Amino acid sequence: MPEKLILRIGSGKTGTSAIQTGLARHKDLLLEHGIYYPCSTGLEKQSVEKALHGKITSGNGIYLNLFLNPSNRSVNFQESEFYSYFEEVVQKAQGNTILFSDERIHNANPERLLALDNYFRNFFDYIEIIYYVRHITDHAMSLYMQKVKRHGYYKDFSTFIKKAITPFKKNLEKFEEVFGKSNISIYLYDEQKEDIFNKFLKNIGLSISPLEKIETINRSLDRQELLLLQKINELDLPMNNISEKISDKFIYSKPKIQAENTYFVSTEELSIIKKNNQDIVDFINNSYFKGEERLKIHSDQIVVLPHNQLSHQDHKYEELVNNIVLALDSVLRPLLSKDKKLR
């Protein structure tokens, strides 16, 4: 029976897809070194197949997610499915450490998390929770882009950050209460983002020669792409997942495009972010980084400008973007409306 379970629970936008691509590609080597990464059973197989091909994926913990988040379940899911699945995983592990990496786990319902811990204690002597944090404004900017890319969001960053409070403290406190602080290992993404997969392997105690450097899987949009996608989202065309389809086309057709090395925020935006999140920064630095100011409100990649100067940054793209969007609207909307009538 395995003695140890490792759960990498997030946070999202901290190199998750790159790590999971590396784990899927090197699962056999991991097993040779005593770590079993479940990726061949049922629902998890599809997610891991995507990771193998460098596609965006949430990880190999889909059954864990269904158990921990009842709101995500289909009407056909039964908890008995999870227990059967997990017992099969334990058998396949053959005494090796079991590793799950899935950013959805941190959304766990607290009561379900406690029930899961009680169940896990039947199998494991030790459970390690691994959690990555990121400089706050950089993380907020990345979450904002993700919302534009995958969820049809079209409003500006100023609107987004008014209610954007990083989940780091809330998630850590939730897992501390169930597993204990001593079982949580926390890492700063900004210190490890260069070659994050090999650094993750070191974090879990593997002493092996460096493996391939995993390419960026879910790259950020450049400024032109972001503005274009916002404008398209604002059209609200009658087409399902249009923002996701367009952003995937951007990302997968030109995966090596480097997004800007700097991101611009206004002094007003930074003030709001600091007001909403400074206590979270202090909590993590004091509780997990021995009082060192490692986690910050923003990195050097964030350039802070007065609002009037910030607006000027978009003017050079605006006319081109507006013309493209108007052309798309005039062509696509009649076609989509016609297709809808034919159905």
171-215: pLDDT as tens digits: 999 999 999 999 999 999 999 999 999 999 999 999 888 888 887
Whole-structure pTM value: 0.90
Beta-bridge partner residues of 59: 102
User: Quick check: 55 and 20 in contact, CB under 8 A?
Assistant: no
| 107 Cβ neighbours under 8 A, 6+ residues apart | 65, 68, 69
Q: How far apart are the first and last CA of the chain?
A: 55
Rounded to whole angstroms, the Cα distance separating 295 from 283 reads 10
Q: State how beta strands 4-8 and 97-101 pair.
A: parallel
The whole-number pLDDT of residue 75 equals 67
User: Phi/psi of residue 40, each to 5°?
Assistant: -130, 5
Band of residue 312 on the pLDDT scale cut at 50, 70, 90 = low
Band of residue 342 on the pLDDT scale cut at 50, 70, 90 = very low
Rounded to whole angstroms, the Cα distance separating 24 from 184 reads 24
Give pLDDT tens digits for 255-264. 766 655 678 8
| Residue 217 vs residue 200, higher pLDDT | 200
